């Protein structure tokens, strides 16, 4: 019997079509799957049976996904819990992380990426990411961040919690508050820490060059393209992409970025072959992106993809 066949997964969703979809997908991967049609049924099942991983929707009547998460952790603290939702908000994502969720995935999700989240979650249960360090013992400030206020201590705690997830992060705050330092702290505390951390200054790359810088280009794609060049997304494969001042991206690049986030693929300028990429996106802005969305300067669908969890950095004067 393979390792997958010994892993038991509980799927909790009040939509029958989603339950059946997840059951078929996970069964094909070799997992043993049990279904629950709502939070109440899930809690009854959790009292009787043990599971290695629980996948639960957030929005359900009576007992919601957070309730299922708490129940799973109360009966078996090492159970890996992944929450899924079509109504992702920063507040519920932070609450989920605080309660011990492994990851928080917005619907609709990329199938290949979701399979990897499940696989990685089960591996993390076995200690695959343990490096011998006590993550609770990592000192505050990550050797670079400044501030002793309760507000900053909450940020340090949140950095620890979100670092072990695959969730996209949006960091907001005034210029000079250390948004890149927070992004680096998340990367350096994550399973991706041995892979590249690639910084992209969205405001510093000319509009005419940003596509070729992000996606790379093929020889002959334009005047001066004498050889193939790998783009920054390709360089970051396996690691983290930090998009600084993401609100400065043009509408055309926003469309292409959304596709990378959804499909985890891109095509080089002048190329025809799609390339797969495994990166985590951490973005930063000093703009009010909600206002930019309302004013139609920033895509709403991209905003919700990037803003799964938001970390607001206070100005230095308030630390």
CATH of the domain at 92: 3.40.50.2300
Whether 112 and 54 share a structural domain: yes
Predicted TM-score (pTM) above 0.75: no
Whether 72 and 172 share a structural domain: no
| Three-class SS state of 108 | coil
Which residue segment(s) compose the domain that 36 sits in?
3-125
Whether 283 and 230 share a structural domain: yes
Q: Which of 105, 125, 145 is the last residue of a domain?
A: 125
Domain of 223, CATH number, reads 3.40.50.300
The number of folded domains in the chain is 2
Whether 312 and 181 share a structural domain: yes
Whether 292 and 174 share a structural domain: yes
Whether 121 and 143 share a structural domain: no
The CA–CA distances, whole Å, from 267 to 99, 164, 212, 282 equal 39, 29, 10, 21
Q: Is residue 12 part of a domain?
A: yes
Cα four-point dihedral sign 219, 220, 222, 224: positive
Q: Is residue 130 part of a domain?
A: no
Q: Is residue 156 part of a domain?
A: yes
Inform me whether the pLDDT recorded for 3 exceeds 60: no
Condensed to tens digits (0 to 9), the pLDDT of residues 291-318 reads: 999 999 999 999 999 998 999 998 877 7
- Judge if the upstream peptide bond of residue 108 is cis by omega within 30 degrees of 0: yes
The rounded mean pLDDT for the chain is 87
Condensed to tens digits (0 to 9), the pLDDT of residues 239-279 reads: 999 999 999 999 999 999 999 999 999 999 888 889 999 99
Whether 290 and 244 share a structural domain: yes
Classify residue 34 as exposed, middle or buried by CB count within 10 Å of its CB (0-12, 13-18, 19+). Answer: middle
Q: How confident is the model at residue 155 (pLDDT cuts 50, 70, 90)?
A: confident
Whether 269 and 144 share a structural domain: yes
């Amino acid at each position: 019997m393979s390792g997958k066949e010994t892993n038991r997964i509980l799927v909790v969703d009040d939509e029958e079509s989603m339950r059946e979809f997840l059951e078929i997908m996970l069964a094909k991967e070799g997992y043993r799957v049990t279904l629950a049609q709502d939070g109440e049924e899930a809690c009854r099942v959790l009292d009787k049976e043990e599971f290695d991983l629980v996948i639960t929707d957030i929005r359900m009547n009576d007992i919601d996904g957070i309730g299922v998460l708490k129940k799973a952790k109360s009966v078996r603290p090492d159970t890996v819990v992944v929450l899924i939702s079509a109504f992702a908000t920063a507040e519920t994502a932070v609450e989920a992380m605080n309660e011990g969720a492994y990851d928080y995935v917005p619907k609709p999700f990329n199938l290949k990426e979701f399979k990897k989240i499940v696989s990685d979650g089960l591996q993390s249960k076995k200690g695959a990411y343990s490096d011998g360090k006590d993550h609770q013992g990592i000192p505050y400030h990550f050797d670079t961040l400044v501030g002793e206020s309760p507000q900053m201590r909450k940020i340090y705690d949140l950095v620890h919690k979100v670092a072990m997830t695959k969730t996209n992060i949006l960091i907001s705050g005034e210029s000079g508050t250390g948004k890149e330092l927070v992004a680096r702290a998340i990367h350096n505390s994550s399973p991706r820490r041995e892979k590249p951390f690639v910084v992209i200054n969205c405001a510093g790359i000319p509009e005419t060059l940003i596509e070729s810088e992000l996606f790379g280009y093929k020889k002959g794609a334009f005047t001066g393209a004498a050889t193939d060049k790998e783009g920054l997304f390709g360089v970051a494969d396996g690691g983290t992409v930090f998009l600084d001042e993401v609100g400065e991206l043009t509408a055309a690049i926003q469309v292409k970025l959304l596709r990378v986030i959804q499909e985890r693929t891109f095509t080089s300028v002048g190329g025809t072959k799609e390339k797969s990429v495994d990166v985590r996106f951490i973005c930063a802005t000093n703009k009010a992106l909600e206002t930019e969305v309302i004013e139609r300067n920033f895509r709403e669908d991209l905003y919700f993809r990037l803003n799964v969890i938001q970390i607001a950095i206070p100005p230095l004067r308030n630390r």
